[in-house]
Amino acid sequence: MVTPVIAGYGVAVPPPMRQDDLWDGFFVNHTDGTDRSMRIFRNAGVDTRHGVVNPIKEDVSQWTTAERMDRYETEALPLGEQALRQALDDAGVRGAQLGLIAVVSCTGYATPGLDIRLADRLGASIDTQRLFIGHMGCYAAIPGLAAVADHVRAHGKPAALLCVELTSLHLAPGPLTTEQAVAHALFSDAAAAVVVVPDGSGLAVLDVAARTDTAHAGAMTWHITDHGFRMGLSARVPLVLARHLPDAVGALLKRHDLERDDIDAWAIHPGGSRILDVAEKSLALSEPQLRVSRDILRDFGNCSSATILMILREYARQRPHEVVATAFGPGLTLYSALLRSV
């Protein structure tokens, strides 16, 4: 049987923005300006973020959704192409060899989409299959990875996955509520890609599992409005995750006769510093086991679906044997993947 293996990684980000500068130069006047809002920004666990729009220089909060989608098309294509070319070069694969190009994004839409335009730019074959995964949020990289791994397993041809998220385009009109202030203190822009090959060298995709708690579907939302996409983020989210994480991860490991102590690397989506604190406690992890996730949050912010691929790229350099990747999003949904170095 063919084993799908992540053989190449690519990451592209727009210009950096310092968290303190964003507060002092813009958000102090875009929130209620209270000590509470300032603490949200100061304690987010983020030092640097990246954005195609820096609100200090360009306030898009009053832009229509149509204007934001026009900008999305302009900015997402070069970032996505850069990340995909890096991943292809890293894997030693040409665009013409790809059997599938899958694109994930919850921050912009257009038809013909990025999948079609990038396939053309990368020299993909006329019969290369394409898939767009939209509006699933931060966990979407894992079902995306499952899709490209299944394609490689079924067809024996390389496949590529690109996650491109431009959250800076969805700056909400002020003054921000507390929920919105939390989101705007965390989210950032990035494009991240992987190339999966049949029976190569790298991290093999062994299994993927999902768990959705529909009783808390309203705890995390992402709605299209006339002024961009609006985030809803309940303070209950960490508590719900704490309840489900041990069982969700435990069930995945049990299918492979593994225990938590068998896992060498934990790629936990840094939805925020509090989320990582909850993961550390509920999964009985040590601080060093979450260092990569915290470092990505500090240096890049929460890049939605792209974040897990960015964390996996860091772990691939360390060559761990067993890896668990876990991410969370609307639904309320948890997705986990088990990967193994081969």
Question: What are 97-149's pLDDT values in tens digits?
Answer: 999 999 999 999 989 999 999 999 999 999 999 999 999 999 999 999 999 99
Q: What is the model's pLDDT at position 33?
A: 81
List C-alpha distances in Å: 265 to 98, 261, 284.
29, 10, 13
Looking at 140, 169, 198, the residue that finishes a domain is 198
Looking at 166, 182, 198, the residue that finishes a domain is 198
Q: What is the model's pLDDT at position 115?
A: 95
At 327, the amino acid letter reads A
Number of Cβ within 10 Å of residue 39's Cβ equals: 12
What does the pLDDT look like over 193-248, one tens digit per residue?
A: 999 999 999 999 999 999 999 999 888 889 999 999 999 888 889 989 999 999 99
What does the pLDDT look like over 281-331, one tens digit per residue?
A: 999 999 999 999 999 999 999 999 999 999 999 999 898 999 999 999 999
Active site residue 138: yes
What does the pLDDT look like over 241-267, one tens digit per residue?
A: 999 999 999 999 999 999 999 999 999
Q: What is the model's pLDDT at position 303?
A: 98
Q: Are residues 159 and 227 in the same domain?
A: no
Q: Band the pLDDT of 92: cuts 50, 70, 90.
A: very high
Q: Are residues 17 and 32 in the same domain?
A: yes
Mean pLDDT of the chain: 96
Q: Are residues 22 and 104 in the same domain?
A: yes
Q: Band the pLDDT of 179: cuts 50, 70, 90.
A: confident
Tell me the β-bridge partners of 129: 100
Cα–Cα dist 73/200, whole Å: 34
What does the pLDDT look like over 142-173, one tens digit per residue?
A: 999 999 999 999 999 999 999 999 999 999 99
Q: What is the model's pLDDT at position 323?
A: 98
Q: Are residues 159 and 51 in the same domain?
A: yes
What does the pLDDT look like over 25-64, one tens digit per residue?
A: 999 999 988 889 999 999 999 999 999 999 999 999 999 9
Q: What is the model's pLDDT at position 232?
A: 86
* Given the residues 106, 138, 163, 303, the one annotated as active site: 138
Give me 169's structure tokens. Answer: 């385009």
| Per-position DSSP letters for 125-184, written without gaps between them | -TT-EEEEEES-GGGTHHHHHHHHHHHHHHH-S-EEEEEEEEGGGGPPPSSPPHHHHHHH
Cα–Cα dist 173/226, whole Å: 11
pTM (2 decimals)? 0.97
For residue 282, what are the domain limits? 203-341
Q: Are residues 136 and 261 in the same domain?
A: no
Q: Are residues 181 and 222 in the same domain?
A: no
Looking at 174, 198, 222, the residue that finishes a domain is 198
Question: What letter would DSSP give residue 35?
Answer: H
Q: What is the model's pLDDT at position 32?
A: 86
Q: Are residues 153 and 214 in the same domain?
A: no
Q: Are residues 38 and 186 in the same domain?
A: yes
Q: Does 240 or 179 have the greater pLDDT score? A: 240
HSE-CB of 281 using CA atoms within 13 angstroms = 10
Q: Are residues 126 and 146 in the same domain?
A: yes
Q: Are residues 100 and 213 in the same domain?
A: no
Q: Are residues 122 and 22 in the same domain?
A: yes
Structural domain count, the chain: 2
Cα–Cα dist 170/209, whole Å: 30
